Amino acid sequence: MATAHEIRQRMKQIQEAREEAFEPLAQVLEQRQELQRQLNELDEPYAKAYVAAEAAGWTAEELSAIGAEEPARRPKGRPRKRVASKAAPADAGSASPATVPAQGGDGEGATVEAGGLTG
């Protein structure tokens, strides 16, 4: 049967082996934290450069296509200008006719076209 001293010695050996196994993780963790700090420092200059590219005429879609992701946080200042929809508004001359329910006693509706009534 093992003595208390032998049991403590075995426990210390196991603990030392665990600490040795942890050492590579601790080193990588330190490097990762440093790289994350450096990346965070680039957020503001990246956002300013991105906004400057947009101001020079680049669209978000074009920038994305070449690998420039939209910044997580935009620099403080004026709000981003929204690009108008590319769909042209329908003009009044191309509207399709619509039937209006009859309001008199004759039971017939009238067709309404741009610029007048028929029926």
Q: Write down the pTM of the prediction.
A: 0.47
pLDDT band with cut points at 50, 70 and 90 for residue 34: very high
Q: Residue 45: enclosing H or E segment and its boundaries?
A: helix 4-55
Q: What is the pLDDT of residues 72-108, one digit of tens each?
A: 877 776 665 676 655 555 555 555 566 666 666 666 6
Q: In this predicted structure, what is the pLDDT of residue 73?
A: 79
Helix (H) or strand (E) holding 116: strand 116-118
Average pLDDT over every residue of 4-28: 96
The span from the CA of 109 to the CA of 119, in Å, is 7
- Residue 104 gets the label, from left (phi > 0), alpha (psi -120 to 50) or beta, of beta
Phi, psi of 115 (to 5 degrees): 95, 0
Residue 2 has pLDDT above 70, yes or no: yes
Bridge partners for 118 per DSSP = 111
The pLDDT, as a whole number, for residue 75 is 73
Q: How far apart are CA 42 and CA 53, in angstroms?
A: 16
Distances (CA, A) of 35 to 31, 42, 48, 72: 6, 11, 21, 17
Q: What is the CA radius of gyration of the chain?
A: 36
**pLDDT value at residue 38:** 96
Domain limits of the chain?
Answer: 1-78
Taking only the tens place, the pLDDT of each residue in 39-67 is 999 999 999 999 999 999 999 999 999 99
